[in-house]
């Protein structure tokens, strides 16, 4: 519903365009909760979730003899969704911290803080005070996509806009800008179907 719309207008629109709405909803990717058997991309590589109830620990990766990548989750199956979610957030923080620190050093700027959230409308943001915020879901994308988003937000510490100068700064520290943007345009929405919806 548009910000200035009313409930009455929204109901009227839904009544008139119900078929169109249903068709659009039918094309949305199916939800993929973090449960046994679900295949989740980790850094763009498919990993099947496997519950290991008798094992100690939380979440770790293994490669089966067949070459299949798996994400093993210890503990009660009722905690699996939360454990995988927490693991992915930690991995995202680690990779984004590393990439942002590297790009900041290249550009001679300082990142004050990095926060990891479940942002649905944007992959990252930057404040003039030097705080960067990213979606944890970037850990599901190939590494060059995460690296591009880190470079993009760090570049805002040099240019707080999307001017030609800004894009020159991004290009200076990231070789995969076009490739990453194309990947996000094609596959980005799919990342929102995984796990807990916050």
Question: Mind giving me the DSSP string for 39-53?
Answer: EEEETTEEEEEEEET
Helices and strands: H and E segment counts in the chain: 6, 7
**Torsions phi, psi for 56 (to 5 deg):** -90, 155
Cα 92 to the chain's mean position, in Å? Answer: 8
Same-domain pairing of 120 and 155: yes
Q: How many domains does the chain have?
A: 2
Domain end: 82, 113, 139, which one?
82
Q: Do 43 and 74 sit in the same domain of this protein?
A: yes
| CATH number of the domain encompassing residue 96 | 3.30.2010.10
Q: Tell me the per-residue pLDDT of 70-103, one tens digit each, with 9 for 90 and over.
A: 999 999 999 999 999 999 999 999 999 999 999 9
Q: What is the mean pLDDT of the chain?
A: 91
Domain termination site, one of 22, 53, 82: 82
Residue 15 belongs to a domain: no
pLDDT tens for residues 21-60? 666 655 556 789 999 999 999 999 999 999 998 887 799 9
Range of the domain at 129: 90-193
Q: Is 143 left (phi over 0), alpha (psi -120 to 50) or beta?
A: alpha
Contact criterion met (CB below 8 Å) for 135 and 198: no
pLDDT of amino acid 23: 64
- Residues 151, 56, single domain; the answer is no
- Point out the least confidently predicted range of 13-27, 32-46, 104-118: 13-27
Classify residue 16: in a domain, yes or no.
Answer: no
Residue 77 sits in the same domain as residue 142: no
């Amino acid at each position: 519903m548009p910000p200035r719309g009313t409930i009455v207008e929204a109901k009227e629109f839904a009544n008139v365009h119900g078929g169109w709405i249903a068709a659009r909803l039918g094309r949305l990717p199916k939800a993929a909760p973090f449960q046994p058997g679900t295949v989740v991309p980790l850094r763009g590589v498919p990993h099947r979730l496997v519950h290991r109830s008798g094992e100690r620990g939380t979440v770790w990766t293994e490669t089966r003899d067949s070459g299949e990548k798996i994400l093993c989750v210890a503990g009660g199956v009722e905690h699996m969704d939360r454990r995988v979610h927490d693991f992915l957030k930690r991995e995202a923080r680690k990779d984004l911290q590393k990439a942002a620190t590297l790009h900041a050093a290249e550009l001679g700027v300082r990142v004050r803080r990095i926060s990891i959230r479940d942002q649905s409308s944007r992959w990252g943001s930057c404040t003039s005070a030097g705080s960067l915020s990213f979606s944890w879901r970037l850990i599901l994308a190939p590494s060059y996509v995460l690296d591009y988003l880190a470079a993009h937000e760090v570049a805002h510490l040099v240019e707080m806009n999307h001017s030609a100068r800004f894009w020159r700064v991004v290009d200076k520290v990231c070789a995969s800008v076009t490739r990453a943007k194309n990947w996000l345009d094609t596959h980005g929405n799919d990342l929102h179907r995984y796990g807990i919806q916050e």
